Structures are given as structure tokens and as C-alpha cells.
Structure 1
């Protein structure tokens, strides 16, 4: 996932802005780690699209149980005509790879058994299955203005992190901190001169706690650095303090956002994200003024 934003409708309407939906067809399936499943998709509708970023994401559209429609459907019509509980459920995923000439892309799913919505769907998906999605969106890539990049996140952010490593400007370096459940859950990473991938094992700890510890221990690079930090909201909150309050890092040099939050569904998180971010800003200003 990559900085997903769910756009609400008018205040009090309870509706979200409709996206132009496209069709993705499953063409392949691969277990890339004990915790991750990679699905390959075909989507002719993205052929020729301008997708210059490394954090492109899509919003998969799942039809809720009890709804009287199936894909393909007119998203705008469904959004306008159905009550909220019968509208498509959106789940945001980062594209691990995308080929706009062939009209293909890969998406990595965290598999939690029967837990969640997208994970179980990915586990049971077969070639030929179709699903609707909105997007792709995206806003960040490693720029040549910087000498070094620090990237950090959990499994949800790994696709954007690895895509960025594959797009590093010539002559730059990068350190990527990737949090996983255990060191038995590693998976293939980009390689190359100047790329350092550091695996951070949770080993039962709360998501994000080991990751922020690793960032603090690594400290602040002496080179001109761009930061890309995404993952669980609680980790992001602490990392913002580490960067902006303690380290004096300019916010212009950082892409940082919570992809998800402990104990919340994506819908619940998106509804509360603006308030969460505003509270972070307020606390950081207070700390900076001490």
C-alpha cells in the first residue's frame, strides 16, 4: 500500500467519490514468502498510461456479502444507488511491478489465513478470475536531487520500497529497513551497488516497534537524504518525532504516512486519518517549542 487516501463525499453524506474502475484479470500466482502471495494481473486499460512513480497503488473493489450485483458494474451508479453497507469494499494495494506497454502488473498480498478480506481472496484466486479496481494513484519516486535514500516500512510498504530501489537515480545510494514477522519470512529484494536492505524481525513484538528502533539506531545520514517511511500508523507517529522534532529533517525531504492502524479496518483508518495526522502535527509543534 502506498499512501492510500479514501476520498469522502460531502460532509454528512456518508458517500465516497466514485473512481473510474478498471478490470484486472488474474494471470499468475506465486507464494514469495511464508506470509506473502504475489498475484499477476492483466489489464489492457493501463496500456499507455503515464505511471512515473515508485509508489503507485490501486483500490481493489470487493462486492460485499448480500449485494445483488457482481463485477463488472458501474461504480458511480452503485455508489449513488446503494446504501453504504452494500457498496463495494475498497482495499488499497501497492503495485510491485507495472508494465504499461504490456498492460500487466503484480500485487503482493499478506496472507493471514481466513483473516481479513483481500488476503483470503488472494489465497483462493485462480488464473482467469477478475476483479475491479480504481487507480492507479501515486505521488513519489526517488529524485536525483538527493544523494541517499532511507526507506522503511513493513510488508505492506515493501512493494513501494523495492520499486523505489529499482528506480534509484544513477550515483545515489539507499538503505531500506523492511519489517517482517520473523527472519524465516524474507523474500527476494532488488540488488545493486549502493543498495543495502536491512531485515527487521518483529519476533512477536507489536508492529512497528522494532522498525523505529532500527531507524533510531541507524541515525541520520550525513549525505543529502530523502526519507520514505510508510506502514503502521503508530510507527509513523514515532518516526515523525524522530525525523522532524529530534533530527530537524525538513518535511520536504520526507514522504511519510500510515498505511494502516492497529485494531482498525482500512475504512475505519481512512475515516480517522485526517484527525490522526492533525494531532501529530499539533504534538510535534508543541515539542519543537519546548
Structure 2
């Protein structure tokens, strides 16, 4: 996998919990994204006491240093790539000191270096779809925003997004006919917000393309509903649990594979 590095040019708070970081530099020369609106890069965050420099090859670090000195790897969606200026924009959800990427972004300053591998990606709104459904939370916002911008004019797009309140909403644009609703957490029954909102939708009986990403248990419920009760197939849907309530990043990474297998078992033998 290709390794890139870039320098922070700016970091700004879009909401109380979302930081936008713009990166540029010669280390992005030749970088190109796939034809996907969920394009991602794997970021590498070295520990504070790393004995190697800010520009490194993650594979070489893993080969030559003990595990405690390896960089933490986190996957982030590309919000925007501008080839003309070789400018890469990433949005980071910040929950205080929790995690790795959020705290890094919260303190990012011009000149800071970020190493990454990739890119990858596979989803893009299908111009032949009758309706585009995008459901998730703040962690899915970069992909949701990029996807809405790619919906063809005249096509229906339905977006349901969970966030902490009005101050956590961001402007979203779409050439299509956008039906957008923000779902605000209240501290009670939040795990059901997204599922209930999707259950209430009036969607076409066929031709729905879905993008469902966010908190694991919320995504699991929505996925089951769409496959079992709405009749979507797996080919109609891009679905991934990014994080799980009450779990740290590392704890979630350890159990994610088993959780995804359980999601599949929920809907067997659905094709």
C-alpha cells in the first residue's frame, strides 16, 4: 500500500466536536483518489516518544521497532481532494481526550506532519438508483457530505443523521432533491433514534441505494430493517459500524470482526 505524508496547512472547528484539517505538501505528489465518495486513508499516529522522525514508513517501523513504538492506525474518510493544489481535507470527530485521531486534530497546528497509507473506497451514488438513503452520525458526515454532492440533479436523496444538538449540525449541499433531518440525542433512547427514523420513511419498493455507517448497534438495527423488512440486498447497501458506544477505539477494533459476523447472522439467509 502506498505511503504518503502531508503537512497541516490549517485546522478549524466546524462544530464543538468536529475539526477540519487541510493538508498539503510534496509528500502528496502523485496522490489520486478512486471514483468513490467514501474514499479513505489509513492515518498513522506515532507515540509521543517515537525514536523515528515525523516522516516514516509504517511497515518499516513495525519491522524494526517493538510494538509499543508502532504508530496507531486509524481510518478516516477523505472529505475533499483537490488535485490542482494537492490539497487533502479530512474532518475529525473529537470527544475530549478519547481516541487517537480526535486529540491529534484538536491540537493540530500548521507545520505538523501526518503520515497515511491508501487510499481506498468503493461507494458512490448510483445515477440509476430511484432513491439514495444515507443514514449515520457525525463519524459518517465526511462520506455523507461527499456523497450528497455526487447525487445527480433531480434524484431523491434522504439523509438522517444523529448528532448532539443543533450546534453540531453542518451545512450539506446536494444537486438532487434532498430530504434531510438531523436527529438530536437527548441521553435517553438515543440508540433507537436512527432506526426509528428510517422505519418511518416512505421509500420506494425498489431501486433504493443505501449508505449506512456510524455507531455499531445503531447501524446493526438499520441494516437488519433494510434487508429484512425493506427487501434491500447487500449489493444495494454500503454498511459499516465505525465505533461502538461504551468502547474505546482499541477495544472496538479487537471485537469488530466478530460483531460484523454477528450482523451477517442477523439476516441469514438473506441474499
TM-score, length-scaled by structure 2: 0.91
C-alpha separation in 2, matches of 1:194 and 1:222: 18
Unaligned runs of 5+ in 2: none
> Per the alignment, in what secondary structure is the counterpart of residue 120 of structure 1?
helix
Q: Aligned to 1:167, which of 150, 162, 165? A: 150
> Per the alignment, in what secondary structure is the counterpart of residue 255 of structure 2?
helix
Q: Aligned to 1:255, which of 208, 214, 238? A: 238
CA RMSD of superposed structures (Å): 2.0
C-alpha separation in 2, matches of 1:83 and 1:225: 48
Partner of 1:26: 8
- CA deviations 1:79-112 (Å, max 9, x no partner) are 1122222211012211111112321121111222
C-alpha separation in 1, matches of 2:256 and 2:134: 22
Contact 1:32 1:38 in 2 (8 A): yes
TM-score, length-scaled by structure 1: 0.85
Greater CA drift, 86-95 or 64-73: 64-73
Question: Within the alignment, does 1:147 sit opposite 2:136 as a pair?
Answer: no
Partner of 1:105: 88
Q: Aligned to 2:22, which of 34, 37, 40? A: 40
Figure out how many residues of one structure are paired with residues of the other and give that number: 269
Alignment of 1:89-238 (within 5 A): 89-205=72-188, 208-222=191-205, 224-238=207-221
Q: 1:128 to 1:203 in 2, by over 3 A?
A: same
> Per the alignment, in what secondary structure is the counterpart of residue 282 of structure 1?
helix
Contact 2:3 2:115 in 1 (8 A): yes
Q: Aligned to 2:67, which of 72, 76, 84? A: 84
> Per the alignment, in what secondary structure is the counterpart of residue 157 of structure 1?
helix
C-alpha separation in 2, matches of 1:120 and 1:135: 22
Greater CA drift, 78-87 or 55-64: 78-87
Contact 1:162 1:189 in 2 (8 A): yes
Q: How far apart are 1:130 and its partner, in Å?
A: 1.0
Q: How far apart are 1:66 and its partner, in Å?
A: 3.5
> Per the alignment, in what secondary structure is the counterpart of residue 274 of structure 1?
helix
Q: How far apart are 1:277 and its partner, in Å?
A: 1.6
C-alpha separation in 2, matches of 1:22 and 1:48: 8
Q: 1:161 to 1:25 in 2, by over 3 A?
A: same
Q: 1:281 to 1:184 in 2, by over 3 A?
A: same
Unaligned runs of 5+ in 1: 1-18
Q: 1:204 to 1:152 in 2, by over 3 A?
A: same
Contact 2:33 2:120 in 1 (8 A): no
Q: 1:114 to 1:281 in 2, by over 3 A?
A: closer
> Per the alignment, in what secondary structure is the counterpart of residue 49 of structure 2?
coil
C-alpha separation in 2, matches of 1:237 and 1:247: 14
C-alpha separation in 2, matches of 1:61 and 1:48: 17
Q: How far apart are 1:118 and its partner, in Å?
A: 1.7
